[in-house]
Structure formats: structure tokens, C-alpha cells
Amino acid sequence: MKSIYAPWRMAYIKGKKPDGCIFCRDSIRNENFVLFEGKTAFVMMNLYPYTSGHLMIIPYRHISKVENLTAEEKLEIFNLLDMAIVALEKAMHPEGFNVGMNLGKAGGAGVDDHIHMHIVPRWMGDTNFMCTVGDARVIPEDVIKTWELLRPYFLKKPEEV
């Protein structure tokens, strides 16, 4: 079994967590990382990405279980997933994707009380010698630069992307 190391996340894991929810509008959400606001969910950059272009789709409602999503939220989340993949394909040309949710602490969720879906673009060879030799993953682009690259695709209507 291969392991993927993300040592830059240790600062987050060990660091003091601020009070509030990083995904809720009325809490401590960083608006600078939001790419698109839908009716029931939104698309946001991941501050601690596994690769450049790592996005998250998040319902506005603060819920921790998939079964608590409404039919409308489920539909919009998958429509936003489609929109995000098309935007990433056009802007960054990945060769594949990892898409999924980490549910609960035991499931690997860093934020376990507000569900969110991850979209991670992948390229052949995106794990390189740094992972093997240095126990470090190199993210080749600053998160803000990636936001600037992707943002124009999220300003269009989904059918125009």
C-alpha cells in the first residue's frame, strides 16, 4: 500500500483551532477562497491542498451527515461538482480526479461537523521524489494564484463553462 504524505497539514492538525466554523458564512469563513455561491451550496478553494486546484463543495447548512441533505442540496452539490470538474479541466488540464467526502473524525474529516466534498485534480507523476525522499509534497502554485486562474470559470453560468 502506498501512502500520501501531506506534512504541511501538521500545522493545521496540531494548531489551535479557532472558534466557529470555517465553512459557515456567519462564522469564520474566509471569503477570499470562495469561487462560487449557489443557492444551497458553494465552491471553495482548500487552504491546505493536496495538489494545486484542490476544491471543496460545501452546503450552506451546518450539517454533519449526508442523510440530512435535502434533495435540492444533493442535486446542487452534484451540479457544482460537474461545474468544478469542467472548470478545472479547462483551466488546469488535469489527467484525472479524486472526488469524495471524509465523514467523521475516524473517516479522516478535518472538519467533521460540516460535511464537504473534495475535488482533487491529478496528473501522472504528481507525486514525485519529494514525497519519497523528503516526506514533503510540493504544491507548485500558490492557492491565491490558483483562485485567480479558476475564478473566471465560476463567473460564467454553469452551461457556459
Sheet holding 34-37, edge to edge: 34-37, 41-45, 55-59, 117-122, 96-100
Upper half-sphere CA count for residue 45 (Cβ side, 13 Å):
23
- Cα–Cα dist 87/78, whole Å: 14
116 has catalytic annotation:
yes
- Cα–Cα dist 151/67, whole Å: 31
Report the C-alpha dihedral over residues 4, 5, 9, 13, rounded to 10 degrees. Answer: 90
Active-site pick, 93, 114, 116, 118: 116
- Cα–Cα dist 22/159, whole Å: 29
Task: Give phi and psi for 81, each to the nearest 5.
Answer: -60, -45
Supply the residues annotated as catalytic.
116
